[in-house]
Amino acid sequence: MALDSGYAILYFTDTLQGSPLAPCGCLSTLTAGRCGNCMTMTRRLSLLMFAFSLGAPAATPQSPPDSFPSLVVNLPEMSRALPEPLPARQKDPGFKLRGIKGWMWNPEQYLAEIPVLAEYQMNFLMNCYTSICDIENHTWGEADCNRWWEPLPDAKKKAYEEVVRRCAKYGIQFCFSMNPNLNSKRFADPDKPEDVENLWQHYQWMQSLGVKWFNVSLDDISQGIDPKKQAKLVNEIFRRLRTTDPDVRLIFCPTFYWGDGTEPDAEKYLKMLGEELAKEIFVFWTGDQVVTPRVTRRAAESYRKLVAHRMVLWDNYPVNDNQPTMHLGPLTGRDADLCEVIDGYMTNPLCPQNEINRVPMLTCADYAYNPRAYDPARSIGQSINHLASTKPQRSVLKEVVEAYPGMLLFGNGTGFNPVRERAAWMAKPPQPVPISSTLMSGVSPSLRHIRSNLAVDASSRVLSARSKMPHE
């Protein structure tokens, strides 16, 4: 299995400790059992995988609470095209833009995903604005991490220049993103020429590389929520970009970026923003809520009517906000006709697991390409088939997905961990002694299953391999 997929499976271990286990630096040998320092983790991993996935007890006197809905993945016998092909009479995909952003990813992670995006008909990649901050030397959230007014170090610039080149090679539109006012000790003020110049230097650099899509985000801030001043700053960046290249596109992420826009503060903000923002600029929107099991056409139409700009859906799935959990089930709850209201679709991913993120990402790609034909149950099965190479690998990946089916199924937030919740339930008395003995009896076969199917081979990563199953 791919390296960070092995890391992802370590998230089973956090159910007993309440926090994620940090990799020891020898993850590539962990699943093969050759790391003495990690053998305790391996045994705990085996136990929990057995308890929840690989061989649950035949009978338990108590049943988990109703808050634990389940996902059963049916692996198809045959692989088929993914995303689902368009009907013969339909020439264009559902959403014009179909892509992903990072989540505090490093340049190597972006590079790793570009070929996958291209293979599955996605055409858009936006850097996470946190990636541009000094996350190499500061924890995100520290005041010194977001020093947007300073030039980037040369090494970091070279790394992202390679990301831009790789996107161009694969036909992916790279979108450059920054948020100068989030977790920053210095706000970008459009009335201060020095601030505008300092922010502009980054966009000018990216434009010099041939980049045509840009983003300014002012989301999740608690100060400076003035739509007129925000529009003034964004308009000036956009004006400068368009002076050099009339084909440039810019997407603005406003402070009120969710809902139908009818809440009083949001409505006032959106109406003013709509009047002040240059009409050619797109606006990001996350759906009916910030994180939501449903994204409806009704809410999209209401929001668009107020903001009076074209929109791109910033879908907060399968994002975990860098918390110790994963959301691996298929995308669900998105209206099939959203593409008639919204121009683009962008999924927000897991952090730090960019590789196992491909499992839900391919279902997002499937939806974005052909939303009217999208079938979540079919899509998750095909995603696993495409990303794993052998039947045993598919079986293990299916079990991991079923253990972490995703927040959309549970209706919880980005940090919800169903495995931990189940473990907490099982730890509550009274639980009969036979449960413990039954769990222990599964350690050995579970460990053999993991070792034989999830051992890392650096030369051939499962999640980047093409399916060897026959196609219809």
Long-range contacts of 222-227 (CB under 8 A, 24+ apart): 223/181, 223/187, 224/181, 224/187, 225/255, 225/269, 227/254, 227/269, 227/270, 227/272, 227/273, 227/276
pLDDT band at 67 (very low <50, low <70, confident <90, very high): low
Q: If you ran DSSP here, which 8-state letter would residue 252 be given? A: E
pLDDT at 444: 55
Does any domain span residue 208?
yes
First to last CA, the chain: 26
Query: Is residue 50 within 8 Å of residue 439, measured between CB atoms?
Result: yes
φ and ψ at residue 59, rounded to 5 degrees: -150, 140
| Overall residue count recorded for the chain in this entry | 472
Q: Which has more confidence, 123 or 11?
A: 123
| Among the listed residues 25, 20, 17, 24, the one whose alpha carbon sits nearest the alpha carbon of residue 9 | 20
The answer to whether the CB of 187 falls within 8 A of the CB of 224 is yes
Percent of the chain with pLDDT over 90: 71
Contact (Cβ atoms closer than 8 angstroms) between residue 326 and residue 356 = yes
Please check whether residue 399 lies inside any domain of the structure: no
DSSP string, 203-232: HHHHHHTT--EEEEE--S-SS---HHHHHH
pLDDT tens-digit profile of 306-320? 999 999 999 999 999
> What pLDDT sits at residue 425?
75
The predicted pLDDT at position 469 comes to: 32
* Number of separate helices (H) and strands (E) present in the chain: 18, 8
451-467 tens-digit pLDDT: 677 554 433 344 543 33
Residue with tokens 């962008």: 346
Angle at 312 between CA 308 and CA 313, to 5 degrees: 115
Q: Angle CA(89)–CA(92)–CA(95) in degrees, nearest 5?
A: 135
Each residue of 161-219: pLDDT tens digit?
A: 999 999 999 999 999 999 999 999 999 999 999 999 999 999 999 999 999 999 999 99
Alpha carbon distance 283, 44 (integer Å): 46
- Domain of 322 in residue numbering reads as 97-375
What pLDDT, in 10s, does the model give residues 141-158?
A: 998 999 999 999 999 999
Q: Taking residues 8-29, report their average pLDDT.
A: 32
27 found inside a domain = no
Q: Are 68 and 419 in contact (CB under 8 A)?
A: no
Q: Is the pLDDT of residue 1 over 60?
A: no
Confidence check: pLDDT of 130 > 50: yes
In angstroms, the Cα distances linking 422 to 68, 102, 407 are: 8, 30, 15
| Residue 342 banded pLDDT, cuts 50, 70, 90 | very high
- Would you say residue 435 has pLDDT above 60? no
3 part of a folded domain: no
Q: Find, among 94, 92, 97, 93, the residue nearest to 282 by Cα.
A: 97
CATH number at residue 329: 3.20.20.80
Q: Residue 97 is encoded by which pair of tokens?
A: 């833009």
Residue 401 lies in a domain: no
DSSP state of 151: P
The pTM for the full model equals 0.84
State how far the Cα of 88 lies from the Cα of 215, in Å rounded to an integer.
Answer: 35
How many structural domains are present in the chain?
1
Question: How would residue 51 be classed by pLDDT, with cut points 50, 70 and 90?
Answer: very low
* 8 Å CB contact between 102 and 109: yes
Closest by CA position to 404, among listed 418, 424, 388, 386? 418
Tell me whether residue 236 is in a domain.
Answer: yes
* Residues near 434 by beta carbon (within 8 Å), at least 6 away in sequence: 57
Residue 401 CA: distances (Å) to CA of 8, 86, 319: 11, 27, 15
pLDDT of residue 446: 52
Does residue 72 form part of some domain?
no
For residue 151, being part of any structural domain is answered with: yes
3-state SS class at 321: coil
Amino acid found at 239: R
pLDDT per residue over 230-244, tens digit each?
Answer: 999 999 999 999 999
